[in-house]
Structure 1
Amino acid sequence: MSTPTPSCTRPPERAAEHAAGFTDLLAAEWIKMRSLRSTYWVLVLSAVIAIAINVNGVHSDFPYIDQPQPPLPPPSGEPSYTYDPLFHGLSSIAADVMALAAGSFGAITIFGEYATGMIRTTFAAVPGRRAVITAKVALVAVITLALGAIVSATSFFTINAMLASRDVGLSIQDPGCLRAVAAYALVVPVCALIGMAFGAVLRHATASIVAVVGILFILPLLFGGDRYRVLREIGNHLPLAAQARLSLNPDSATSLGAHPGTITGSWIALGAWALVSVIVAVTVVRRRDV
């Protein structure tokens, strides 16, 4: 008669690891970005500098605003000069500062992980590369959009409060003002996503920053002038040119040239740059080896 063997309890199997959700990935990416103090200090300082440029530009115009404008002679037929707060208060110089800072920030978030080897640890913990890069893209877009909105709104309301006593200020409800403020803010995340695309493709600090500078500031020099319509049309749809067209005061006497960009085309251009940049970043990170 065989004796029954005592039932022994097998050691429990290791519990399945918790699959990282999208909110977990966002939290992880936020920790990475927050741990690099240089990145957010660059963004904060660039925002302060951009606001200071806009405010100082309008403040420097006070002596000219306060001077009485002489009437034009009747035969000229030209409209009298009117100060344009949108042109002077949302300046292209400040927009360039924010665009360069955002583009560099976007590139750093990609090539920084490849340079340090952190990307291997990230993909070992979360094999789903698409989810990782999507979380990174979403966080970069939200951060830079918030920063762009702060710079745009602060600049607009501050400079128009300064100009209120001169009776040349504008309200956000005036024609073209809300569109200008929105475009001024939106170009910042667009440039950040462009930087991410270059960072994913090049994976090198110097090359990525040079590429960002080239696409944002050097390339537009090749597509100016009114002689060749095709070249001008391409230039109209570059990121900063599209933002400048959307920020133009409808009541401004500024000449748009022979082949001006359109409002609709400029909005489409900004959206297309953002979408293509996201597609490039996600596709390259998924398919290339670490």
Structure 2
Amino acid sequence: MSTTARPAADAAERTRFTDLLAAEWIKLRSLRSTYWVLGGGALVVIGINANSAWTNARRLAGTESTPGDADDRYFRFDALHTAFVDPAWQLLMVLAATVGALAVLGEYTSGLIRTTFAAVPDRRAVIAAKTVVVTAVMCGLGAVVAGVSFGVTQALLRDEGGLSIGDAGALRAVVASALLTPVCALVGMALGAVVRHAAGTVAAVVGVLLLLPALFQGDTYRWVKEIGNAMPLTAWARLVENPAAVALPEKYPVTLTEAWTVFAAWPLVAVVATVTVVCRRDV
């Protein structure tokens, strides 16, 4: 091949991948469920966190009391935790993973995947484009939800010890929560490629992301705890901890380095699994 032909071929390949990105973006945003799931989920998560902050602010101000609060006005209050209430973010994890699964599952269930692979035989390129689009969308969603949740909750608590983004642990918690959504979305994509059934994929998402961490919470045996420490939910919980809060002693705790490693390893393994399954299985 001549030296002039190679740059032209490289340019064509880059253009082709750009076209794949555009196609995957159109597929994702053309699904009505995407808007409902992401928009509704974001509002619910922010609402749960804001309600937690508002309730705690009233209790701290003395305008609302709960049995047992009389002798413990601060009831082990943690301002940072109000922005990252566990049930709210667990819900967002499932929703993000569901959207990630739909990016693959939708084409298989509709039969569109045959058309896609007929037009683009390079399946790795297709999965790479899906990965980029899903990651970008979920990073944006995670950043908005984490940033708004932190801002709203701390504004509600401004008179009761609310934090700023510059306080210890605050920025780390916001970044970790923003990254949690793309991590879960890519895990969902892998599960969708493996299961290829809507109900089964949702069950697998809940099992992998929520039930497994619950099963491996015990610290009687170190290997049990270490498996639990390797779960995204456990890693996220460690990253959003308030350094100023008094923590209960814990055997075999996950370190910050280990938590960030978990956040890096899960999406990498998920993408490799998606590519492997899609390339080796028939449509």
* Aligned pairs (5 A) from 1:38-117: 38-67=33-62, 83-117=77-111
In structure 2, the partner of 1:34 is 29
Tell me if the contact between 2:37 and 2:95 (Cα under 8 Å) persists in the aligned partners: yes
Identity of aligned residues (%): 49
Question: What's the CA shift for 1:49?
Answer: 0.5
Render the CA deviation track for 1:172-195: whole Å, top value 9, x for unaligned.
111111111111111111000000
Structure 1: runs of 5+ lacking an equivalent: 1-17, 73-79
Question: What's the CA shift for 1:83?
Answer: 2.7
In structure 2, the partner of 1:164 is 158
**Alpha-carbon separation, structure 2, partners of 1:70 and 1:208:** 47
Question: What's the CA shift for 1:275?
Answer: 0.5
1:248 matched to 2:249: no
In structure 2, the partner of 1:142 is 136
Query: After the TM superposition, which segments of 4 or more aligned residues of structure 1 sit over 2 Å from their partners?
Result: 67-72, 80-83
TM-score (norm 1): 0.87
Residue of 116, 121, 125 corresponding to 1:122: 116
Residue of 189, 193, 201 corresponding to 1:196: 189
Render the CA deviation track for 1:151-199: whole Å, top value 9, x for unaligned.
0000101111111122x01111111111111111111110000000011
Residues 193 and 101 (structure 1), Cα distance of their counterparts in 2 relative to 1, 3 Å cut: same
Residues 95 and 117 (structure 1), Cα distance of their counterparts in 2 relative to 1, 3 Å cut: same
Tell me if the contact between 2:82 and 2:153 (Cα under 8 Å) persists in the aligned partners: no
- Choose 1 or 2 for highest CA Rg: 1
Tell me if the contact between 2:238 and 2:259 (Cα under 8 Å) persists in the aligned partners: yes
Question: What's the CA shift for 1:64?
Answer: 2.0
Residues 109 and 256 (structure 1), Cα distance of their counterparts in 2 relative to 1, 3 Å cut: farther
Residue of 13, 16, 24 corresponding to 1:21: 16
Question: What's the CA shift for 1:256?
Answer: 4.9
**Alpha-carbon separation, structure 2, partners of 1:256 and 1:53:** 28
RMSD: 1.9
1:151 matched to 2:137: no
Question: What's the CA shift for 1:70?
Answer: 7.7
1:263 matched to 2:260: no
Tell me if the contact between 2:216 and 2:225 (Cα under 8 Å) persists in the aligned partners: yes
Question: What's the CA shift for 1:107?
Answer: 0.8
TM-score (norm 2): 0.89
Render the CA deviation track for 1:50-83: whole Å, top value 9, x for unaligned.
00000011111123211398889xxxxxxx8663
In structure 2, the partner of 1:220 is 213
**Alpha-carbon separation, structure 1, partners of 2:96 and 2:246:** 31
Question: What's the CA shift for 1:244?
Answer: 0.5
Structure 2: runs of 5+ lacking an equivalent: 1-11, 64-68
**Alpha-carbon separation, structure 1, partners of 2:197 and 2:144:** 30
